[in-house]
Amino acid sequence: MLALYRGEEVSAAWMVAAALGSYAIGYRFYARYIATRVLRADPTRATPAERVNDGVDFHPTDRRVLLGHHFAGISGAGPLVGPVLAAQMGYLPGTIWIIVGVIFAGAVQDMVVLFFSTRRDGKSLGQIAREEIGPIGGVAAVIAVFAIMIILLAVLALVVVNALAESPWGTFSVGLTIPIALFMGVYLRYLRPGRVAEVTVIGVALLLLAIASGRWVANSGLADTFTLSPRTLVVWLVIYGFAASVAPVWLLLVPRDYLSTFMKIGTIVLLAAALVVTLPTLKMDAVTDFAGNGEGPVFAGSLFPFVFITIACGAVSGFHALISSGTTPKMIQKETQVRTIGYGAMLMESGVAVMAITAACVLDPGVYFAMNASPAVIGDTLQSAADTISSWGFTVTPEQLAAAAESVEEESLLSRTGGAPTLALGLAAILAEILGGDAMMSFWYHFAIMFEALFILTAIDAGTRVGRFIVQDAIASVHPRFGRMRATNWLPGIALSSGIVVALWGYLLWVGVNDPLGGINTLFPVFGISNQLLAAVALAVCTVLLVKSGRLRHVWVTLLPLTWLAVVTLTASWQKVFSGDPAVGFWARRDQYQDGIDAGQLLPGAQDMDDMRTIVNNATLDAAISAALALLVLIVFADALRVCVRAVRNPGTARLRESPHVPSRLIAPAGLIPTKEERAELAAAGLGPGGGIPEQSRGERSTAKVEAGE
């Protein structure tokens, strides 16, 4: 703030310092207060993973491995793409929201939802809403949750397609992580149970080999084999999503997510270290003119509410509530671990978002806008792009744009929208300063592209599995004869529900790939609004549960972020549907292109009349989806308010649907590093650092350790 007041340049290292310091305080004090005083996590209560432990979905998992799985599951496109796009408003608004938002909203939602789902046999958010709020609000919540989840998965998959299309290096390296994960799952389950450190070393070594071999494949005769078109990638992603949803959780999902976490965290830590060593300055303005006039070339709309909607997952994400009420509560060993896994993993994701916006803001602003503005705005030549961007006050020359593309061995960087290429260029520029210089720019750029694809792909497999849980619960609730659909060991039910989920998001993905205006431009606004609406639904459900459990003095913990998100998301929904600006409002865009069709005139973005009609249809679909989701969420809010008022007036009528208390036999630390008391307890029980169930015989003890994922 002192540097801003004096008009001095601001070092990117201050962003790292501000984030890490804030995270440490939030985790140490605020998260502990919520876990102990608000939620009252009980270490003596058996979790669903311990009680059910069917080896398919319910499986007590070492907290270190589960943290990696959870982080990988929640980390999708949002913390990478959203902050990069929001950089057009300046580095200050986005950075403040990322840090403040995660401490008081995003991490709180993740931890509280994880706790309440664990108390209810790992039930999904929609099912919890139906049981705790009532049939009207509950059904609205289920429909909203499932629809939003399909949209989120489609957008996540679209970012993967955009990153891997025509990239043999990325496709080969990312594809190779699947057999590596399968090997790790079998290794940890059967070959060397309990050897987490051992399998970690092997997995990381194989991952590095996959990255290195990807570059070799890209420069060999195999390049054509792994150079896939966007449409081909859609098919492969659908097949992968189905397989990951059907396979046992220990075989593919957990080891793959755990493996990818090392690459994610390693890259982000390396980037943070490079920022501290090189101390680059932030070249983007603290607050740009686009924040006020709403005429940004990257996305239209003013700072409020669109910077909050665009950043999405970096500060608070409704998608996380699906993971926190999906796979993770079925694998957590102890209730006391919700702070480490729920709150801690979200802080890690927020750190990724801080690194993303920082990487974008150390680039020359002219290059940034050249990469993120559409051809309709800046033209399709270097000269037209340079002239247009310079007229905005950000000086850039055609030579600079050509040199930037040449440095990473790309023909052009113009209009590489979606955020991923911008982040890759920023990462490459920072890392090349300490590792290899200009000669390594191309390597780091393509490494970053592959890193982003791997980062996002792990959210697709976890999300598809959660969608399968929702479909199974919904079908089973229709009639008692369908009750078997809820069984986790009935393969036909698992296959049917998984097929429904991948077919739905696969269809939206196909629409996005073939969209004339670019799928990311069409779907990302809906993605951002839907994601935040889902977070509001999750916080509303948690608020109801706090009120019904008699914790009125602590209800502000979820009520304050709920109120903020409701205001932001409903305002954004209204503007996206009804704004008269075609760059903002879906209906206005629909009318603009429909008028063009009626007049026989081609408008920017369309090559022919078929494209014009496609744009009209997509705008109509976007408007309908946005309006319907907002209406469903309002129904949830109204019914939740009714339940809360009744619980306050007549506390005796409030009934919680918690699972019965069953004493826990499992011993495990609450945090990543066991305390002195926890180490003594583990030693007395003859258990290792991963914990487990103490038994009398050595054979029984070994079996218990395997079940605990040690």
SS (H, E, C) 158-204: HHHHHHHCCCHHHHHHHHHHHHHHHHHHHHHHHHCCCCHHHHHHHHH
- Tell me phi and psi for residue 692, to 5 degrees: 160, -165
pLDDT digits (tens, 9 = 90+) for 299-344: 888 899 999 988 878 899 988 998 899 889 999 999 999 999 999 9
- Which range (50-64, 153-167, 378-392) has the least confidence? 153-167
pLDDT digits (tens, 9 = 90+) for 554-569: 999 999 999 999 999 9
Cβ contacts of residue 443 below 8 Å, gap of 6+? 215, 436
Asked whether 285 and 368 are in contact (CB, 8 A), the reply is no
Give the DSSP H or E segment for 587: helix 586-599
| Residue indicated by tokens 């002195």 | 676
Q: Report the chain's mean pLDDT, rounded to a whole number.
A: 86
* Portion of the chain with pLDDT greater than 70, in percent: 94
Bridge partners of residue 692, in order along the sequence: 667
User: What confidence score (pLDDT) does residue 707 get?
Assistant: 45
Query: Can you list the alpha helix ranges (DSSP code H) found in 318-364?
Result: 318-324, 338, 344-361
- Residue 529 has, within 13 A of its CA and on its CB side, a CA count of 29
- Which range (34-38, 67-71, 233-237) has the least confidence? 67-71
Asked whether 590 and 623 are in contact (CB, 8 A), the reply is yes
pLDDT band at 227 (very low <50, low <70, confident <90, very high): confident
Distance CA 119, CA 541 (A): 14
- Tell me phi and psi for residue 182, to 5 degrees: -60, -45
- pTM, entire model: 0.85
Higher pLDDT, 704 or 565: 565
Distance CA 327, CA 117 (A): 10
- pLDDT of residue 32 exceeding 90, the answer is yes
b/e map 96-120, b = 16+ CB within 10 Å: ebbbebbbbbbbbbbbbbbbbbbbb
Distance CA 349, CA 372 (A): 23
| Torsion sign across C-alpha atoms 94, 99, 103, 107 | positive
Cβ contacts of residue 99 below 8 Å, gap of 6+? 18, 19, 22, 23, 350, 354
- Tell me phi and psi for residue 663, to 5 degrees: -60, 140
Asked whether 35 and 336 are in contact (CB, 8 A), the reply is yes
DSSP assignments along 662-689, one per residue: -B---B--SSSS--HHHHHHHHHTT--T
Nearest CA among 151, 175, 85 for reference residue 509: 151
pLDDT digits (tens, 9 = 90+) for 356-368: 899 899 999 999 9
pLDDT digits (tens, 9 = 90+) for 70-93: 887 787 666 878 899 899 999 999
Asked whether 282 and 430 are in contact (CB, 8 A), the reply is no
Distance CA 101, CA 86 (A): 15
Q: Which two tokens stand for residue 681?
A: 């307890």
User: What confidence score (pLDDT) does residue 547 get?
Assistant: 95
pLDDT digits (tens, 9 = 90+) for 622-652: 898 889 999 999 999 999 999 999 999 998 8
Based on its alpha-carbon atoms, the radius of gyration of the chain, rounded to whole angstroms, reads 25
Higher pLDDT, 38 or 146: 38
